Amino acid sequence: MIVEVTRFRASDATALLAARPAMLADFRDDRTGFVGARLVRLADDEWLDLVEWERAEDLAASRAKGANREGIAAFFAAIDALVSSEDGTAV
């Protein structure tokens, strides 16, 4: 299992949370190896998105697709700035 951890800023929590269900539905429909995701709200408009993948190749393929679906694009549009992104193997 691969865990992708993305930290970002989003000042409009309402828009971000409204876009989340469609983004997750698009990931389930279009992303091979997508297991699930959790969104964590931090202080000062920062968030963590914890996404689980079956294999590193699945994560790489997802990154290559980018915001190819409407729900994914709407979620990404609600993000003001990327702070960091990394991934690792769950143990």
Helices (H), 8-47: 13-30
Tens-place pLDDT, residues 65-87: 999 999 999 999 999 999 999 99
| pLDDT score, position 9 | 98
Model's pTM, two decimal places? 0.94
| pLDDT score, position 27 | 98
Q: How far apart are CA 30 and CA 63, in angstroms?
A: 12
The CATH number of the structural domain formed by 2-89 is 3.30.70.100
Domain definitions of the chain by residue range: 2-89
